[in-house]
Amino acid sequence: MDKSTMPAPFSSHHDWYTSTLSSLSSTDGIAATHLYTYRHVLDGFSAVLSKSQLDQVEKMSGYIATYPETFGHLHTTHTPRFIGLKKHAGLWPAARFGDDMIIGIVDTGIWPESESFKDHGMPPVPKRWRGACEIGTAFNISNCNRKLIGARSFSKSLKESGKIISEHDYDSPRDFFGHGTHTSSTAAGSQVQGAEFFGYAKGAATGMAPQARLAMYKVLFVNDTYESAASDTLAGIDQAIEDGVDLMSLSLGFDETTYTHNPISLGAFTAMEKGIFVACSAGNSGPDAYSIFNGAPWITTVGAGTIDRDYVALVTLGKGITTFKGKSVYPENLFISGVPLYYGQGDKSKEICDHQSLDPKDVSGKIVFCAFTNDSDPYDQRIEVNRTGAAAAIFATDSPQSLDPYEFSFPFVAISPNDGEKVKEYFASTKQPTADIKFQITILGAKPAPQVADFSSRGPAPLSPWILKPDIMAPGVDVLAAWAPNVPFAQVGNNRLSSDYILLSGTSMSSPHLVGIAALLKSAHRDWSPAAIRSAIMTTADVVDNTNGVITDMATGKPGTPLDYGAGHVNPNKALDPGLIYDIKVDDYTNFLCALNYTRQQMVAITRRLNYSCECATLDLNYPSFIVILDNTNTTSYTFKRVLTNVANSKAVYMAAVSAPAGMKISIEPSLLSFDGKGSTAEFSLTVEVDLEGYGMQQSYIGNYGYLTWYEVKGKHVVRSPIVSAYAPQPQQS
């Protein structure tokens, strides 16, 4: 309602609304029922009305708009549902929700008071646990419980390097930044009812493995930036191994020089050797090729994808002439109605709302529309429009999904260039253009999803391009998880807002998703090695989205490739029963390092072995994916040798099928494999020949791919591996 039209006799708009409702006639004798009067989120009320009563209200002075009631349902943070986890079927119950698994998170610390780390109903801490809860600034032993069973902090090297920890941060396991709290709750947070981010993504939040235990190893601290010393990081990994974690997740990275110079690569090798599964973020340096971090073959490297949940505002031009949605995460339940629309057409600088291009006299109190051009930038536009005192803004952009929730400190909505053209057409056809914008809308079932996040780092891996990286893609865009409430994350005007749960994007979010799923698999299959778990995840991954099309790349809008998303998007229920796995032993990784021509010093640094043999040196690991590195000749051919292990409880026969793109010829020998029972193995060879000249391909060509799929004869199992050809830089061999 337009409360400025409230008649003088009423002392409040509440009285006006209730009086209006009482005056409505009814054909069935049932009076209109008043529910709520809204005093802040909008000017109006909610009521139960018959159709005839609604018709009467819509004809009254002051009426603006009516919205029919909608119904929400309790959801998780939604990523468990999106990837198929269910309470009563599949991996969750089979793994007892990750019971008895211990996940070590190496990150910025943890906020132990979060509801996500409550231990209600959890059994005693496993007796094998050797960890501790360290006392430190604003942190003591009582902060740990049967969920958060360990917490330690590592800052000695950082301080010794002359880096002064900010007075705001805690020299203890307590999280100041919030990042570690977010990743921890994503991996193994307990179920929390009523989680939300300022009205968005409402529901019940839960981690991937809600019955698993958590141990935090804080290695990142605020100084000039957020940094972690390599030796502190390595100490954290080392302590996690000593404490007895079953899995680790690290959402941080170091420069990719050699594996000996990377504390994560070094520590993860030892963890793998002791049967500890390690997942790491692939990095946020996409969409450029060769931008992978944490690409060591003994690490499961995780890229980031979107989910089928969007946060939008509804834009209506005029009196319902045109309605469309755009991205917005403005943290208020705001409805702006009938506001004049401003568009500085004819002046290019005003069209795109460049710095100092708008006059406050022209736009104050209006909705400003900023058209799309190749030069437009929503970040700069937001600053400019906010400066002028406008009521709100509509920005046309080709990359609305790249806007982070914290950027919506001003009420604006980002729409597509096509919808931007509709705004132009409406403005040109109307003397007094107006618009409505309704904020704080969450949409489920958005399509297409998943998509490869534009920021997600892409392969090939700089240090070891012979191993396809990333390995897998998991949710990493606008993920709702716990946060440190002392850190404001949103803003309305000059008011900074805090929340117990926030939406965050990055491969930092995808790695804890994956480690939580790995915890479920390890709980269900205690005898599986880290390589077996990775293989099960990779060979059962999804390569199509929810439109049944090839997973697309947000950065280009075109179909992605395994260099973007690895083996595909994780499907945890399928990974529970993969049929066959590609296993890798410690000696196989040692042979791989030998083939890199690493010096004795380097070999010992990584493997800690004084006596080793390089007689079987090879770059061809028993990996669940294949990549051919092209040379400078017109034709490149390579033969891979692999061993498959049956992990099903029965005999089986598998038949091979290959799909190859133009310019790639794939042959397999043998094409039929027989397995006697669980634990039996079978070998095969796969030869890939790439002909560049015959298909007019250029030196810049990268990412042509096919698939090898093993189908169980008269069975249900399907084991799929990507086959990619690409140019890659030679790794550094210092």
Is 508 noted as a catalytic residue in this protein?
A: yes
**Residue of 13, 75, 78, 179 marked catalytic:** 179
Confidence tier at 42 by pLDDT (50, 70, 90): low
pLDDT at 151: 98
Which phi and psi (to 5°) does residue 719 adopt? -120, 110
- For the stretch 683-712, pLDDT in tens is 999 999 998 775 555 444 466 899 999 999
Contact 461, 469 (CB under 8 A): yes
pLDDT at 60: 87
Confidence tier at 347 by pLDDT (50, 70, 90): confident
CA 348 to chain centre: 36
- For the stretch 641-671, pLDDT in tens is 999 999 999 999 999 999 999 889 999 999 9
- For the stretch 617-644, pLDDT in tens is 999 999 999 999 987 777 789 999 999 9
Supply the mean pLDDT for the chain: 91
Q: Examine the pLDDT at 478 and tell me if it is beyond 90.
A: yes
Tell me if 101-307+452-575 shares its fold with 309-444: no
174-190: average pLDDT: 96
DSSP3 helix / strand / coil % (the chain, rounded to 5):
25, 30, 50
Contact 722, 707 (CB under 8 A): yes
pTM (predicted TM-score):
0.87
Measured between alpha carbons, how far is 108 from 252 in angstroms, rounded to an integer? Answer: 10
Which phi and psi (to 5°) does residue 681 adopt? -125, 165
Measured between alpha carbons, how far is 566 from 459 in angstroms, rounded to an integer? Answer: 8
The DSSP secondary structure of 342-403, one letter per residue, reads E--TT-HHHHTT-TT-S-HHHHTTSEEEE---TT--HHHHHHHHHHTT-SEEEEE-S-GGG-
- For β-strands 702-712 and 718-726, DSSP reports them as antiparallel
Q: Examine the pLDDT at 85 and tell me if it is beyond 60.
A: yes
Q: Where are the domains of the chain?
A: 3-58, 101-307+452-575, 309-444, 580-584+621-726
pLDDT at 38: 63
Q: CATH topology for 309-444?
A: Glucose Oxidase; domain 1 (3.50.30)
Type of residue numbered 395? F
Residues 6+ apart with CB under 8 A from 656: 668, 671, 672, 673, 684, 708, 709, 710, 711
**Residue of 43, 107, 243, 583 marked catalytic:** 107
Does domain 580-584+621-726 fall under CATH 3.40.50.1580? My reply is: no
Measured between alpha carbons, how far is 541 from 553 in angstroms, rounded to an integer? Answer: 17
Residues 6+ apart with CB under 8 A from 710: 579, 580, 644, 654, 655, 656, 657, 673, 717, 718, 719, 720
DSSP single-letter state for residue 253: -
Beta bridge partners of 661: none
Contact 214, 152 (CB under 8 A): no
341, burial (CB in 10 Å: exposed 0-12, middle 13-18, buried 19+): buried
Type of residue numbered 709? T
| Start-to-end Cα distance in the chain | 72
CA-closest candidate to residue 647, choices 577, 557, 586, 591:
577
CA-closest candidate to residue 705, choices 640, 660, 642:
660
Q: Examine the pLDDT at 161 and tell me if it is beyond 90.
A: no
- For the stretch 355-412, pLDDT in tens is 899 999 999 999 999 999 887 788 888 889 989 999 999 999 988 877 889 889 999 9
- For β-strands 226-227 and 221-222, DSSP reports them as antiparallel
CA 178 to chain centre: 16
**Residue of 508, 511, 523, 529 marked catalytic:** 508
Percent of the chain with pLDDT over 90: 70
- For β-strands 635-646 and 681-691, DSSP reports them as antiparallel
Assigned CATH for 101-307+452-575: 3.40.50.200
Question: What are the angstrom distances between the C-alpha of 86 and each of 91, 100, 190, 269, 576?
Answer: 8, 19, 15, 33, 13
